[in-house]
Structure 1
Amino acid sequence: MTDVVLPRPTARDVAGGIVLGLDPAAPPPAGVADPAGTPAPMVALERAVLPALRRPPCLVSFSGGVDSSLVLAIAVRVARREGLPDPVPVTWRFTGAPRAEESQWQDRVIAELGLGGGWEILRAGEDLDLVGPVARRLLTRYGQVHPPNRHLHLPIAELARGGALLTGVGGDQILAGWRRRPGSLRARLGRLRARWRHREPDPFPWLRPEAARELRRAFGAEQRAEPRRLAGRIAWHLRRRDLTMTRASLAVVSVDLDVLAVTPLLDDGFAAALAAHPGRLRSPSRRELLADIVDPQLPPLVVAPRRKATFDEVFFRAATREFVRSWDGTGVDESLVDVEALRREWSRWPVNPRTGALVQHVWLAGQPAPGPEPVDQQQTVEAPR
């Protein structure tokens, strides 16, 4: 058995709704000693999913997006080649959340992979609200964790009890999501002129002015620190607090349910394979990178471009709306948060999605002891090797 450390979001993380900086406890990824001997990225991804497939039932959190589709397709391929049970895709479908709609892609990918008979579909209306019934179960058990939508995986992990869970976590960072993309000088000058003409609104209007300025400076510094080459950027992302906290919260929930949680897109072997092969690429888009690493055996539909779903409508529902409207002004760090400004922000609907962590923090502050642990305190639980 090994320990899993659960790092907590800091007061600034919660107040601003954004996690910045590197995790000092995260070791830098090992370099590639022999690029010629490093497997191709898809081979490395196959190796990453194999431990989960060997611990059935192996469930795959499958949204229909590119990342979860890629993980599912690789897992199916490995399972059938190794004579193991097929992985079981588990999908949420939501009512009243049209921007989260991905059922067309889900149906097509499942049909392409021949998995229709073993597909688990979960349905949610108000259930997954930030302070709804599922979130409250997670918050009262673990306190505040990152990300605020971690409860989305709680029912899936419960279905996987005693087995394993594969997710596409990390794809937005490892395969895409560049904050700075190179462009022509004309394009860059055009963006600068647009900023001069139209002053951008304050992204953190509920924070005290100095706290908002500090957060904007920190965010700008992080944008500038992002490496341009793929290999350096992958190593940088694997050490970012955003991802290390995301992985840790998933691991802690899974361990409590005797589930082996595997995030193959964040696997060290996959990272090394990307660094050794297409790592020379400079700021590639997701489409460019996937075209470079995907092998011909993978159905093209799996990684075909599609609209990116958004899930604010899933998590900001009636429970959150009623909770923020009845808020009494307590439970926030007033050195960072302007109570009246936050009250104004929460008097409108929809509220700014970046206040999601604050919603949960305030809800927890109103609960009986023991409540959330102090900022930066860590919880340790047992995890399978």
Structure 2
Amino acid sequence: MLKYNFSAGPCVLPQEVFKKAADAVLDFNDLSILEISHRSKDFVQVMEQAQSLAFEHLGLQDKGYKALFLGGGASMQFLMCAYNLLENKAAYLNTGTWSAKAIKEAKMFGEVIEVASSKDSNYNHIPKSYSVPSDVDYFHFQTNNTIFGTQLQETPSVEVPIVCDMSSDIFSRQRDFDKYDLIYAGAQKNMGPAGATLVVVKEEILGKVSRSIPSMLDYKVHISKDSMFNTPPVFPIYVSMLTMQWLKDNGGISWIEELNNKKAGLIYNEIDRNPLFEGFVTDKADRSKMNATFVLKDEAHKDAFDQLWKDAGINGLNGHRSVGGYRASMYNALSVEAVETLVSVMQELERKG
């Protein structure tokens, strides 16, 4: 088993979570977690604990929100958000591949205003100068872009409901989460294995579209059944609950944000210092603390560098085909030691240079 997993997702998870999850596969109150009924008392407790932890980390207890754990990944939410909220027109910020996919789905239900886009520059920055019309049904954006390594550092100030895809940086840093009306996030970055998606929605924004919504795509239906309208992804929810408990036990978002800042500082300082590398993101203020994207200035060093990081026990460092080069994904459970190892490898390449 490789020691340092920089994969963009499914990604690294805490070792203690792996152990507890593995134990539950063999024995979860006399049955395997893989075979228990989602209607059983044991799993109902898991679901309630997962919802409670999500609210606690986001600071949204008793503020009119509901937490759902659904299937279909964040890609299903591109469709569900528009189905449930888009009556006339909506505003979207296009900062990457997944934003573009969300826009494509939303156009099936109404007018989509693309307030700004960095597509022409291959998404190497976050657009800054744009305005959001006050008459749209909602404003949709992503906080972090895994492929290109950009991240919105501040919550946009708008006068309309905010819908946000936080799939790749959920629970990684402090934010004023009550400014958001709907948050969704696939589990496979900072929560658990692929298969579950967290949706946190303010109830008051629902029920305002005139169209009929199929039951499986209706947030109100899933809320009424407490995420159990159909069989939920039991094991991914259980592992997500364990991961959120791990985060709480260690100090919560404030604790992990400090570690994430340290990891990001280590890798970006080396990218900027080392003459063999350069970052992909053009505006340093837009650099993601979850996904650092960088390239070799001279591809002649590629074979040597690839061998060095593989020999160091590093996995998943290759960049996405849209960017090339390398991508160091530094999700919550990745250790500082892992980033220090990568930095050492980059420095060794320079010495051998």
Relative to its length, the structure with more helix (as a share) is: 1
TM norm. shorter chain > 0.5: no
Q: TM-score, normalised by structure 1?
A: 0.31
Q: TM-score, normalised by structure 2?
A: 0.33
